[in-house]
Amino acid sequence: MSDSARHGREAAPSQVQSVDRAIAILYLLAERGRDGAGVTEMAAELGVHKSTAFRLIEALENGDLVEQLEERGKYHLGRGIVRLAGATTAQLELTTESRPVCRLLAAELGETVNLAIADTGEVTNILQEYGSSAISGRNWTGQRTPLHATASGKVLLAWADDDTVKQALAGDLIEYTPRTITDAAALEAELTRVRTRGWASTAEELEVGLNAVAAPVHSSAGDVVAAVGASGPSYRLTVESFPEVAAHLLAGAREISSRLGYFGATRR
């Protein structure tokens, strides 16, 4: 028997145990709703010492996931839960409203059409529809790609906040092909062009033989929250076709944005 057990002290839980117990607390408070629960009650439900329950609650409280509405009162789910739920709901809404539009764009263009969002310094593709010419094309869904070397990434970076842009320009602009923009000044100039014409493109900048065009999607608040883009082999999606493809994508982006409740002017 360990010294801690002999002295009646509870052994420190592992990190995994702590996460499991923290999750259990959140579910317990969700079940209790307005009634909430106190430390003693939660400790009993979890089968742990009060001090352990308090440490877990304190960590959740620091993250705004749990809050105590009155001094020494019961605990309830915090405002952080609402923010997380709102973000999840927003992404689900974005995917739901974008799918039929992306499907139509893929049919019109005959190429693969993707919906992408910014994700901690990169781009994550959250939706993909295949065109008639790309039935056996690559599946980009769930894949993360660089901001500076993709059309969707350039769109998201062009309308990102100043701190995000500065961080991207100061970062390591990896060269994926000989055509990748790796100079900060050149990338900054490219972002200015993107904002001026309203869409972005890449010509073999991520992969040799792969071209892409993308347009911005706005939330109801006017922020650019996603990019809708088309990609295809450079022999078919040629540089000369970019303006025509962009016109289709801009129309599709406007439709998605209107479905999300946006009808105003573009925000920078």
Measured CA to CA, the distance from residue 206 to residue 15 in angstroms comes to 39
CATH 3.30.450.40 residue ranges of the chain are 87-260
* pLDDT score for 1: 41
Block means of pLDDT (10 residues each) for the chain, 268 residues, are: 42 68 88 85 89 89 83 79 60 84 95 93 91 69 90 97 94 96 97 97 97 95 95 96 98 94 63
**Max alpha carbon distance in the chain (Å)?**
79
The pTM for the full model equals 0.68
CATH 1.10.10.10 residue ranges of the chain are 17-77
* pLDDT score for 87: 55
Helices (H) and strands (E) in the chain, counts: 9, 8
Q: For the structural domain made of 87-260, what CATH number should be given?
A: 3.30.450.40
User: What topology does CATH give the domain 17-77?
Assistant: Arc Repressor Mutant, subunit A (1.10.10)
Strand 75-77 and strand 210-218: the pairing is unpaired
Beta bridge partners of 231: 112, 212
* pLDDT score for 267: 44
Buried b or exposed e, range 103-142, using 16+ CB within 10 angstroms: ebbbebbbbbbbbbbbeeeebbbbbbbbbebbeeeeebee
Which sign, positive or negative, has the C-alpha torsion 81, 141, 245, 248?
negative
**In terms of Cα–Cα distance, which of 210, 216, 157, 218 is closest to 188?**
157
